[in-house]
Structure 1
Amino acid sequence: MREERLKQLRQMADEEYKAFNCKLIPGINKERTLGVRVPALRKLAKEIVKGGWERYLEELENCKLAPGGIGGTELFYEEVMLQGMIIAAAKMERETRLAYIARFVPRIDNWAVCDTFCGDLKFADREENRRRVWEFLQSYLSDDREYFLRFGVVMIMDHYIDVSHIDSILKILAGIHHEGYYVKMAVAWALSMCYVAFPQETEALIKNNRMDDFTHNKTIQKIRESYRVSKEDKERLKGLKRK
């Protein structure tokens, strides 16, 4: 089944998009990238989840990866993307999906796969799943591996910024101290989204936190770039930047 799907992916490949994607995603292996656009991948994922997806995921999971992740001798970047989309879209029990997620996260080694996967995991928004998924994410939020931690941060940003979780989220984000660039950027991005939804609570954290200067200033920058923040608020926040 994998060979059949890989043939489809090759037919959808776009060399210009491949070049663009390789520039956009640092560290991506050009030799293991085809250049398939995300909408085309989503369309293929929808086709696969209609039947036989379990076998396809099993084949992908059995493929070897090179040390460091996606750029291995087996899977293409698009296959990893597709794997995540299928895990998010296929009909399955909650615990089965969480098991697939746990096996998939170690394959994430760039922001594009991470953020697409997190955004697709809509099952976390269902009321019957929210508490269980929140508990599931806690180990990732305390992990010291860059993309494990980014996964946790982007997940709570995408699915948990609400009145019930905002205090916990702000505490979690303020307590993350990691040297990974993609963790710092995720924390800043998440805090900017927190500000849009809960400006008073988030600004209080910005005024008094122990985050590194880069994350602190990047948070303010991202908030000031938002069209959902007033000019007055942006100007006030500008004064909180560290020299």
Structure 2
Amino acid sequence: MHNKIRKQLFEQIDTDYQKFSSALIPTNENILGVRMPALRKLAKGIAKGDWRTYLQTAHDEYFEEVMLQGLVIGYVKADVEELLPYVAKFVPKIDNWSVCDSFCSGLKMTKQHKERVWSFLQPYVVSENEYELRFGIVMLLIYYTEPDYIDRVLGLLNRVQHEGYYVKMAVAWALSNCFVKLPDPTLRYLAGKNSLDVFTYNKALQKIIESTRVDQETKKVLRSMKRR
């Protein structure tokens, strides 16, 4: 199975895209240059077949091989209790923002199992590993920026203390997402005594100000809140 899938990946290589991706994505794996639509199509096919054997035997030599595993986990139709161990096994393979964010956006089973996945995420949102922590934060921003969770989400984001660039950017992104969806509690948090470092705080304000879903008057207030 592994050799057949690798052959399919090699058939989809786009050398121009390979150069573009290599410049954009910092990763320990080699980037072949296979575009996401091709990876998604391949992942959907695997998810309908013997996906368990695939995930147990898949190789990690190439960026696309790792990305493919994450996509397959997202497409699989199985019980949440069977899937979460596969998620846990995959997270340590994440070493870049692209695999992290694509993986998170694919885990749509979260929508049907909010509390179960919430409890599963707790070790990740306090992890000292940059990409484990980013995984936890991106999961929060995609699936939990809603009234029932907003206070808990803001509380968790406030406790993040990590110097990793991709963690800081994820927190800023999460806060901008919180603001767009639930401006009142998020503004109270940003204007109050939060524990955000200057870079993350200002980056969050910048992302909110750049949003087309925030009115000019609010943007004016946010500009005045910038830390020097």
Return the TM-score normalized by structure 2: 0.97
Deviation at 1:51, TM superposition (A): 0.9
Deviation at 1:172, TM superposition (A): 0.8
Which amino acid letter does the alignment assign opposite residue 139 of structure 1?
Answer: P
Which among 143, 164, 189 is matched to residue 205 of structure 1? 189
Deviation at 1:28, TM superposition (A): 5.0
CA distance in 2, matches of 1:19, 1:235: 40
Which amino acid letter does the alignment assign opposite residue 170 of structure 1?
Answer: L
Which residue does the alignment assign to 1:218? 203
The farther-off stretch of 86-95 and 209-218 is 86-95
Which amino acid letter does the alignment assign opposite residue 12 of structure 2?
Answer: M
Which residue does the alignment assign to 1:97? 83
- The residue correspondences of 1:84-233 to structure 2 (distance < 5 A) are 84-126=70-112, 129-208=113-192, 209-233=194-218
Alignment RMSD (CA, Å): 1.0
CA distance in 1, matches of 2:48, 2:195: 48
1:209-238 CA-partner distances (Å, limit 9, x unpaired): 121000000000000111111111111101
Q: Secondary structure at the match of 1:151?
A: helix
Structure 2 unaligned spans of 5+ = none
CA distance in 1, matches of 2:51, 2:195: 46
CA contact (8 A) 1:22 1:28 kept: no
- The residue correspondences of 1:53-92 to structure 2 (distance < 5 A) are 53-60=51-58, 63=59, 75-92=61-78
CA contact (8 A) 2:27 2:63 kept: no
Deviation at 1:37, TM superposition (A): 0.6
Q: Which runs of 4 or more aligned residues in structure 1 lie more than 6 Å from their structure 2 counterparts after TM superposition?
A: none
Deviation at 1:42, TM superposition (A): 0.3
CA contact (8 A) 1:49 1:89 kept: yes
CA distance in 2, matches of 1:106, 1:119: 17
CA distance in 2, matches of 1:45, 1:27: 21
Which residue does the alignment assign to 1:68? none
State the percentage of identical aligned residues: 49
Question: Would you say how many aligned residue pairs link Structure 1 and Structure 2?
Answer: 227
Which residue does the alignment assign to 2:223? 238
1:11-52 CA-partner distances (Å, limit 9, x unpaired): 0010000111111112454xx211001111000111111212
